[in-house]
Amino acid sequence: MKAVVMAGGEGSRLRPLTIQRPKPMVPIAGKPVMEHILNLLKRHGITEVVVTVQYLASNIEDYFGNGSQFGMRITYSRENEPLGTAGSVKNAEDQLTEPFLVISGDALTDYDLAEVIKYHNEKKSLATLLLAHVHNPLEYGVIITNEDGHITQFLEKPSWGEVFSDTINTGIYVLDPKIFTYFEKNKQFDFSQELFPMMLKQGDPIYGYVAPKGYWCDVGNLSEYMRANAEALQGLVDIDIPAKNIGGNIWCEEGVEIASDAQLYGPIYLAHECKVKPGAIIHGPSTIGHYSIIDERAQVDRSIVWNNSYIGERSELRGAIVGSSTSVKGKAVMFEGSVIGDNSSIQEGAIIQPNVKIWPDKEIEAGAVINTSIIWGSQGRRSLFSRHGVTGLVNIDITPEFATRLGAAYGATLPRGSAVGLNRDDHRTSRMIKRGINAGLPSAGVDVNDINQVPLPVARYFIRNTDAVGGVHVRVSPYDPRAVDIKLFDQNGLDINKTTERKIENLFFREDYRRVYLDEIGAIEVLSNAEVTGRYLEGFNSIVDYEAVRKRKFQLVVDYAHSSTIQLLPQIFNKLGCEVIVLNTTTDDSSTGPVDDEGRSMQRLAAVTSALNTDMGIRIDAGGERISLVDDRGRVLDGMKMLAVMASLYLRAHRGGTVAVPVTAPSALQHIAKRYDGYIQHTKVLSHALMTAASREGVVMVGDGRGGFVFPALQPAFDGMLAIAKLLELLSTFDMRLSEVVDDLPSYYMSTTHVTCPWEHKGKVMRILSEQYRERRAKPIDGIKIDLGSEWVLVLPDADNPLFHVVAESVSSEQAQALAEKYARVVTGLQQ
């Protein structure tokens, strides 16, 4: 059997190590990672290999040649431009006339390839994928198989809400040449994203083989590279180590010199003719490359030093990586996660702080303290985006410098000369961060339309209805006054999707920005609030029946929660003919964030509403996106109750329409829809999914169960101001009080709890739940929803935190609580 070794990747997440070498040439235990793969193939009798190359292809071709020195026959298939995994293999179609193996040249593994080939033949499969269980499946293709091994479902690079298993695609395949009939030559095509889903849809024999034992590590980023090196030295993977074990798990190649008073604590790999000087201390797992020198009393702890490098007297490396031909001079210190690129020099006494990256060919002056990456870099974050955008503590995680880099990274994904709408809330923190972004965007050749401080729905509407290709909103977090949120929008005013987030993250972490020439720098135009809000009100007024509401003469208590909606809502209420008693109307620019606890605010609002005998109490959030309600009997309505109220009124007015809601919504909504010949469409719980649903045919309203409502007639975005107007309009149309709508709702009983779970166990929990409840599992939308007839439970992994949410509905409050607690115990037990 022939093998195809995929070796075309750039390894952008391994930068700066891969600036001057392709990813498969990164060394592990004395050999390039691809050499370990070739040795594995040879061990299983596969000696004819086609290597697909693209990035720095000559590095690979020069090192491996025709394969004769490795006892193999190697040919190369070059891509002039990236063609995707399947597209690159298609280039070698004429050499692959029989079933063949595909394996990545940049992963470390010792799987028994003979077993997966045997399995492929037994199943008479068209494509067999070798599968593995991993702690964090987000960066891989997640896969479900049935009892026979036939693949039934998979998803490429899911979010946590989409994870249904910790079983992932390793990128090792056995394929029949018939697969080439599915796609054309010289066109970009991917195995996991395109070919395999196509085969699955057509019912072709496509199987997954879960190896009973073996090691696999995708050397995809710097932390995984460190881990692969460590585990290779610890003997966790069966590879050929080209050195002699001299005891204490210390591996030495020829010519190594170790001073008699040096202290070495394995596992350690010392490559050809490296030198360890007197008093030096090395703690494993550590690797020292060819001809490198660890000078007197230097300390190397859990670090990797590449070839021809010098670690000076009394210097310290702590969990660091040093590239080739690099000098770390005396008394210099490199902390955890720091990386120095090739041909660089760290002068005496310099300090490289944790996670700082120094690109190749740089010199750091003596005594300098480097706490940001030089030229290009990476931040020590799990990911850049959370469910609320880019979020972090002010002047700790989110600094003006951070904001400028984020603006440049976002701008680099947009066309030169395009425009972006930029606004903020009223706080001075947001002003500072906004100005940083305002500097980064023009540097990438992007114009800025500064729309000042307008509510979020107004900003989204402006972006959607102008020639802007995107937008940015900066706000103090409504959940933590110490934090700031930076929300990025697309040309429709919606939150950017996951694909765009990944592009921005990639550019941000590499700091590989587009810097335009002088005459292409973007312009900044400051627009008046009247111009921006006037445009929004034109659309708003066109879909609100003011005359119907004026007849009711509503009496309201409104808590503005110090929000910027104070710019618009008073004139809207005046036009609606409402008599309004207002609370918390000031917007204080010196404030550090939200000061009112929402629970206490709602209790106060309920007391005032009840005491004054008004029609209702309304609180709008700081961004103008969500509302909270108190009815005319002084009852505070929770988020799901508000959703049920609005769904009932809206479907009554729009019979046969569809209301989109999250999977966490109660079944009472189905009963409401049935009353009015309407439909309920379930979506994922994240805001982007809900807003996207607003654009689907037949959808008349969207609600998130947390006070957020979308009305597609104006725009597919949450709008608290329009929600208030529409609620008053519908109550007027049907001549009902809010309490009457509430009392008319079908009863339902729900309970919610959460269970902490380490990140590395979340995928395993989802896989086992998916397998154990396969027969009862509802249609997969978000998390694992288990249908129990008259009751249901949803286990939903949190996207940002190491925990699961457990939501249950039953026939009584007590039984709903008991159901939620039962499955919380199940989730806890599955972590063991």
pLDDT confidence of residue 375: 59
- 563-576 per-position pLDDT tens digit: 889 989 999 999 99
Q: Tell me the mean pLDDT in the region 811-830.
A: 92
Whether 328 has a pLDDT exceeding 70, the answer reads: yes
Whether 448 has a pLDDT exceeding 80, the answer reads: yes
- What residues have CB less than 8 Å from 427, skipping those under 6 apart? 475, 476, 589, 591, 592, 593
Can you give 340-355 as a three-state secondary structure string?
ECCCCEECCCCEECCC
pTM for the model: 0.65
Whether 379 has a pLDDT exceeding 50, the answer reads: no
pLDDT confidence of residue 161: 54
What's the angle, vertex CA 47, arms to CA 43 and CA 49, rounded to 5?
120
- 661-709 per-position pLDDT tens digit: 999 999 999 999 999 999 999 999 888 889 999 989 999 999 999 999 9
- 789-813 per-position pLDDT tens digit: 889 999 998 877 778 999 999 999 9
CB 35 within 8 A of CB 73: no
Whether 452 has a pLDDT exceeding 60, the answer reads: yes
Report percent pLDDT > 70 for the chain. 95
Phi and psi torsions of 36, nearest 5°: -65, -35
Whether 502 has a pLDDT exceeding 60, the answer reads: yes
Whether 593 has a pLDDT exceeding 50, the answer reads: no
Report percent pLDDT > 90 for the chain. 51
- Round to whole Å and give the CA distance between 643 and 738: 13
pLDDT confidence of residue 305: 95
Q: Would you state the structure tokens that stand for residue 373, as one six-digit string? A: 């990456």
DSSP string, 533-569: HHHHHHHHHHT--HHHHHHH--EEEEE-TT-GGGGTH
Whether 211 has a pLDDT exceeding 70, the answer reads: yes
CB 696 within 8 A of CB 681: yes
DSSP string, 474-519: EEE-SS-TTEEEEEEE-TTSSBP-HHHHHHHHHHHHHT------GG
- Round to whole Å and give the CA distance between 363 and 329: 11
- 717-743 per-position pLDDT tens digit: 999 999 999 999 999 999 999 999 999
Q: Tell me the mean pLDDT in the region 224-236.
A: 92
Q: Tell me the mean pLDDT in the region 749-753.
A: 94
Task: Give the mean pLDDT of the chain.
Answer: 88
pLDDT confidence of residue 631: 94
Q: Tell me the mean pLDDT in the region 573-594.
A: 76
Q: Tell me the mean pLDDT in the region 745-774.
A: 85
Lowest mean pLDDT among 42-51, 213-222, 373-382, 694-703: 373-382
- 255-297 per-position pLDDT tens digit: 999 999 999 998 999 999 999 999 999 998 999 999 899 998 9
pLDDT confidence of residue 405: 93
Residue of 150 and 527 predicted with greater confidence: 527
- Round to whole Å and give the CA distance between 809 and 807: 7
Whether 381 has a pLDDT exceeding 60, the answer reads: no
Q: Which residues pair with 189 in a beta bridge?
A: none
CB 403 within 8 A of CB 433: yes
DSSP string, 401-428: HHHHHHHHHHHHTS-TT-EEEEEE-S-H
Whether 595 has a pLDDT exceeding 70, the answer reads: no
- What residues have CB less than 8 Å from 486, skipping those under 6 apart? 389, 390, 391, 398, 403, 406, 433, 437, 472, 473, 474
- 288-319 per-position pLDDT tens digit: 999 899 998 999 999 999 998 999 989 999 99
- Round to whole Å and give the CA distance between 463 and 597: 32
- Round to whole Å and give the CA distance between 584 and 736: 28
Q: Which amino acid is at 594?
A: P
pLDDT confidence of residue 713: 92
pLDDT confidence of residue 339: 94
Select the highest-mean-pLDDT range: 165-174, 193-202, 226-235, 367-376.
Answer: 226-235
- Round to whole Å and give the CA distance between 19 and 511: 13
Whether 95 has a pLDDT exceeding 50, the answer reads: yes
Q: Which amino acid is at 118?
A: K
Q: List C-alpha distances in Å: 667 to 7, 339, 639, 648, 739.
A: 51, 53, 15, 13, 21
Domains and CATH numbers, the chain: 2-218 (3.90.550.10), 243-370 (2.160.10.10), 394-535 (3.40.120.10), 543-743 (3.40.120.10), 749-830 (3.30.310.50)
Whether 407 has a pLDDT exceeding 70, the answer reads: yes
Task: List the strands of the sheet with 281-283, edge to edge.
Answer: 263-265, 281-283, 299-301, 316-318, 333-334, 351-352, 369-370
Residue with tokens 């021809």: 308
pLDDT confidence of residue 542: 93
Q: Would you state the structure tokens that stand for residue 452, as one six-digit string? A: 């000042």
The secondary structure of residue 375, as a DSSP letter, is: S
3-state secondary structure of 106: coil
Whether 637 has a pLDDT exceeding 50, the answer reads: yes
